[in-house]
Chains A and B, each alone.
Chain A
Amino acid sequence: MRINVNVNGAMLEAEVEPRLLLVHFIRETLGLTGTHWGCDTSNCGACTVLLDGEPVKSCTVLAVRADSHEVTTIEGLWSGTDLTPVQEGFHVEHGLQCGFCTPGMILTATEFLERNPDPTEAEIREAISGNLCRCTGYENIVKAVQWAARNGSAQEVGA
């Protein structure tokens, strides 16, 4: 089936099997390997992307579902120079170790802070509870999101 998807701001057209999962469309068809996968049962969230601006598990979405919709991957956050506050926060607060869950965490946190720019810690923990991390114990991920919340709008953050 022919699909047209807006991926990171660019309209892309592709011929795909109906059963092709969105995560594989992103990784294999488009070669955007920043989106990862870590399980078979929609538990881990390593595959998180934004679908029409909302974080979803791309391993549980058919690529054909994304036809005429917008997909934002981790690559779509990075404009080539500046980091976003969330990305900077993860760096400053040591919110990553192996980096495998990180793209998913960053996308989830980014959309969360757009909706809730001044969250409590409990709200942050709940917001990221669909993204598993095995390395950090979540402590510094929470701190990273808090850093981004404090340094979100006006602050200049460098690459």
Chain B
Amino acid sequence: MATVQGHTLGDRMPRKEDGRFIRGKGNYVDDVRLTGMLHSALLRSPYAHARINSVDTSAALELSGVHAVITGDDLAEQGLAWMPTLAGDTQAVLATDKVRFQGQEVAFVVADSTYIAQDALELIDVDYEPLDPVIDSRKALDDGVPVIRDDKEGKDDNSIFFWDAGDKEATGKAFEEAEVKVRQEMYYPRIHPAPMETCGTVADYDVSTGEMTIHLTSQAPHAHRTLFAIVSGLPEHQIRIISPDIGGGFGNKVPIYPGYVCAAVASLVLGRPIKWMETRSENLMNSSFARDYHMVGELAATSEGKILGARSSVLANHGAFDAHAQPGEQYPTGFFPIFTSCYDVPAAYAEATGVYTNRAPGGIAYRCSFRVTEAIYLMERTMDVLADELGMDPVELRRKNFVTKEQMPYVSVMGWEYDGGDYEGALQEALRIAGYEELLEEQRQAREEGRIMGIGLSTFTEIVGAGPGKKCHIAGIEMFDAAELRIHPTGKAILKLGVKSQGQGHETTFAQIVAGELGIPAENIEVREGDTDNTPFGLGTYGSRSTPVCGAATAVVTRKVREKAKKIAAHLLEAAEGDVEYEDGRFYVKGSPDQAKTMDEVAFAAYTNVPEGEEAGLEAVTYYDPPEMTYPFGAYICVVEIDRGTGQVEVKRFIAVDDCGVRINPTVVDGQVHGGLAQGIGTALMEIIDFDEEGNHLNSSFMDYLIPTSMEVPNYELGEFVTPSTHHPLGARGVAESPTVGSPPAVVNAVVDALSPFGVRNVDMPLTPNKIWKLMREHGVEA
């Protein structure tokens, strides 16, 4: 509902930030042009595993236009050849002894243009001695395989961690006693966020002031600044990180990449701005991948379908360096322990082994909510396997096992306290939108005609909003977030945030939060993010945390401002503070609504008629430590048809009902769901980062890493469900990763459903035409 002058919380407000983007006036890192700026390129290893005998840069240095070539040895002299990762490991900035994945950074060229820099790469001569690579995580712990991290003192194998959670004994007992048990192995392939803008930086060291300004594709500028300071030794107050417009993040822009460090070093050394922008090929091959989990899902149940226990086992492929952006060392599998999901599971146990392989580092990325994509995929696939085993409709099986809304707030056996959830209600809504009974009838018809049609379900809870400081940290920094609000004399406002949008619309949605609390139209509130010099310290935007944490901070800070505004209003109204009420941007005397002051009047008075004992001004800052995570949830239904001749899978319909609590801007929410569904469909049908036995990357361009075009996705049918969060100040939860969590299992479940009459029970993603064709022919399905 709009205010008299403009928009507020809950409105489908068109976005304020659109103006610059539709005119081509966005300011992305590659648009930054500074006087004296130089360009760069990284030389990367063609081998997955090789010793480096020598690096000869002499010919490259002689090329006209080349200013510097930095090698691992050069960095080692400054103690910069290695850097810490977000997982407490170390990662090579530029390789010194060995290269450990194809594409690993070996040398950094600085030149007048990217053209010359790329020319120079061809002139650097590296003497490699290839070593046997370890590519398959399932072989990484075999006897006799090469030790990848021989740089670590005493390291004699490729293991990173063993982790478990839950009650192993109770769960074991439940399985022993259960009438029905299912076990399903599955692989969630290595995939990539592939935002349309690749990663990059302009590092600008000013010799005269000692200040380093870094323009960075960063989802977390403050955290990056602190990490930069720690790693480089540069004083933190002299580092400024500016994260400008970002062309999509999806987790790809959370890690610190060697290219960033090299650019900063080069700028320090040369005293000039250095731009480094990675190519798409570099982005796909070397920046943070996602998933790559071999998993086993197990469910134990009664013969009526009541779940008695759930178990999961994971083999996690972390690549050559553990750069896993997890929210604390106690979460080496992120929030995978949410895997019991929206079901009331009495006993559960999860274990995981993490290994090194000769692949690029990363793992937590691509809208995964810290591995919730993997956890929900495991549970939803195993649920369907259980339904198949029981001969039960997948819908019925879920309904039998949902946590009910009466059980909220529900504490799961894995230790999470859910802030609300009406899973039955959301499923009902999804079934209604889909016309489930008609769909079943349509499927019966199709099968009679020999067409292969499938209906797939996915119900889930998410866990987002990292997170409570006692539990969650990134490299030691607690995961609060911050908002700073100032009201100007003429009643307009500026809001500064510790998070950083990469397309999520914060300039609009966060203004709407303030508008809802203070009655100032969202149009009149300027929102600022991304510059560490003029925003409060926050942990950034990923894991759907902006609304739960910074949205809460914004609501709280606005209420703080409102408290002072009330004092000023009381002063203006010559009433006791306790007699003044607030509603919709007006402060009025209790019982006399005509005796009122508007927010505009109060704002002006904050500077011109300050009450006795009060400071002038009208502003506040809040650092918000969320008491708990938030738990958005959803129910998705996917309808597919498979061409029995060619194996091609077409997604004909996709129904998505999401509950993210109170919706700040329903249009923005819908847009987030649309985008996530497209990514989930891409994940299910066509995306994979794969390697041959030598460790050669097979999907290093958009010719081979396939993401959907407008032709590969349907119209999405969205449904809305609103159950306010029990603890969030606005009742909001965050939503942007629900669609990538919930959609891949819905698509796979649909394809398996389509082929289940022929005896198919599982198939791993991506569901390429070849793979589906092979499955069909193996099960006797002819063209």
**A44 close to B (CB within 8 Å):** yes
Complex formed: what's the CA distance from A91 to B246 in Å? 18
Complex formed: what's the CA distance from A35 to B676 in Å? 25
Q: Are B196 and A142 in contact (CB under 8 A)?
A: no
Q: Is the interface of B mostly helix, strand, loop or mixed?
A: loop
Give the interface centre of B247, B672, B679, B703 by most chain A CB atoms within 10 Å.
B247
**B162 close to A (CB within 8 Å):** no
Interface residues of A in 9-30 (CB under 8 A from B): 17, 19-20, 27-28
Task: Report A-chain residues with C-beta under 8 Å of the C-beta of B503.
Answer: 96-99, 135
Complex formed: what's the CA distance from A59 to B708 in Å? 21
User: What is the 8 Å Cβ interface bit string for chain A, positions 104-145, against chain B (1 contact, 0 not)?
Assistant: 001000000000000001001110111111111111111000
**B82 close to A (CB within 8 Å):** no
**Residue ID in chain A nearest B671 by CB atoms:** A94
User: Do A100 and B115 form a contact, CB below 8 Å, given A41-B701, A91-B14?
Assistant: no
User: Do A33 and B710 form a contact, CB below 8 Å, given A98-B197, A98-B247, A100-B247?
Assistant: no
User: What is the 8 Å Cβ interface bit string for chain A, positions 73-108, against chain B (1 contact, 0 not)?
Assistant: 111011000010001001110101111111100100
Q: Are B26 and A38 in contact (CB under 8 A)?
A: no
**B702 close to A (CB within 8 Å):** yes
Interface residues of B in 480-515 (CB under 8 A from A): 502-505
Task: Report A-chain residues with C-beta under 8 Å of the C-beta of B248.
Answer: 97-98, 100, 134-135
Q: Are B674 and A136 in contact (CB under 8 A)?
A: yes
Complex formed: what's the CA distance from A134 to B676 in Å? 9
Our pick among A17, A78, A98 for the contact of B245 (Cβ within 8 Å) is A98
Q: Are A40 and B18 in contact (CB under 8 A)?
A: no
Closest CB of chain B to A148's CB: distance in Å? 12
Complex formed: what's the CA distance from A12 to B701 in Å? 34
Q: Are B197 and A141 in contact (CB under 8 A)?
A: no
Our pick among B15, B20, B22, B250 for the contact of A83 (Cβ within 8 Å) is B22
User: Do A97 and B504 form a contact, CB below 8 Å, given A36-B197, A128-B710, A129-B711?
Assistant: yes
Q: Are B21 and A96 in contact (CB under 8 A)?
A: yes
Task: Report B-chain residues with C-beta under 8 Å of the C-beta of A130.
Answer: 709
**Residue ID in chain B nearest A130 by CB atoms:** B709
Complex formed: what's the CA distance from A92 to B113 in Å? 39
Task: Report A-chain residues with C-beta under 8 Å of the C-beta of B677.
Answer: 137
Task: Report B-chain residues with C-beta under 8 Å of the C-beta of A133.
Answer: 196, 710
Q: Are A74 and B667 in contact (CB under 8 A)?
A: no
User: Do A98 and B18 form a contact, CB below 8 Å, given A41-B701, A41-B702, A78-B24?
Assistant: no
Complex formed: what's the CA distance from A121 to B713 in Å? 13
Complex formed: what's the CA distance from A121 to B710 in Å? 11
Our pick among A90, A92, A98, A125 for the contact of B196 (Cβ within 8 Å) is A98
User: What is the 8 Å Cβ interface bit string for chain B, positions 686-718, against chain A (1 contact, 0 not)?
Assistant: 000000000000000111000111110101100
Q: Are A137 and B711 in contact (CB under 8 A)?
A: no
Complex formed: what's the CA distance from A81 to B280 in Å? 35
**Residue ID in chain A nearest B26 by CB atoms:** A99
**B159 close to A (CB within 8 Å):** no
**B198 close to A (CB within 8 Å):** yes
Task: Report B-chain residues with C-beta under 8 Å of the C-beta of A71.
Answer: none
Our pick among A34, A78, A98, A131 for the contact of B246 (Cβ within 8 Å) is A98
Complex formed: what's the CA distance from A40 to B41 in Å? 14
**A43 close to B (CB within 8 Å):** yes
**Residue ID in chain A nearest B654 by CB atoms:** A137
Task: Report B-chain residues with C-beta under 8 Å of the C-beta of A34.
Answer: 23-26
Complex formed: what's the CA distance from A50 to B246 in Å? 25
User: What is the 8 Å Cβ interface bit string for chain B, positions 501-537, against chain A (1 contact, 0 not)?
Assistant: 0111100000000000000000000000000000000
**Residue ID in chain B nearest A125 by CB atoms:** B710
**B33 close to A (CB within 8 Å):** yes
Closest CB of chain A to B249's CB: distance in Å? 8
Task: Report B-chain residues with C-beta under 8 Å of the C-beta of A138.
Answer: 674, 678, 708-710, 713
Complex formed: what's the CA distance from A33 to B703 in Å? 25
User: Do A87 and B23 form a contact, CB below 8 Å, given A41-B280, A98-B197, A100-B247?
Assistant: yes
User: What is the 8 Å Cβ interface bit string for chain A, positions 33-58, against chain B (1 contact, 0 not)?
Assistant: 11111111101101000000000000
Task: Report B-chain residues with C-beta under 8 Å of the C-beta of A125.
Answer: 710-711
Complex formed: what's the CA distance from A137 to B711 in Å? 11
Closest CB of chain A to B28's CB: distance in Å? 7
**B194 close to A (CB within 8 Å):** yes
User: Do A38 and B196 form a contact, CB below 8 Å, given A78-B23, A134-B250?
Assistant: yes
Task: Report A-chain residues with C-beta under 8 Å of the C-beta of B716.
Answer: 137, 139
Q: Are A102 and B675 in contact (CB under 8 A)?
A: no
- A-side residues, CB < 8 A to B, are 17, 19-20, 27-28, 31-41, 43-44, 46, 73-75, 77-78, 83, 87, 90-92, 94, 96-103, 106, 121, 124-126, 128-142
23 contacts between A and B (CB under 8 A): A19-B115, A27-B30, A33-B24, A33-B27, A43-B702, A75-B23, A75-B24, A90-B18, A94-B667, A96-B21, A97-B675, A98-B196, A98-B248, A99-B17, A100-B248, A126-B710, A134-B195, A137-B673, A137-B674, A137-B676, A137-B678, A137-B713, A138-B674
- B-side residues, CB < 8 A to A, are 14-15, 17-28, 30-31, 33, 113, 115, 193-198, 245-248, 250, 279-281, 502-505, 667-668, 670-679, 701-703, 707-711, 713, 715-716
The 5 A-B residue pairs with the shortest CB-CB distance, nearest first, are A34-B24, A99-B21, A98-B503, A100-B247, A74-B24
Instruction: A36-B197, A137-B675 given; name 11 further pairs at CB < 8 Å.
Output: A28-B113, A38-B247, A44-B702, A98-B197, A100-B26, A100-B28, A103-B21, A125-B711, A134-B193, A135-B675, A137-B673
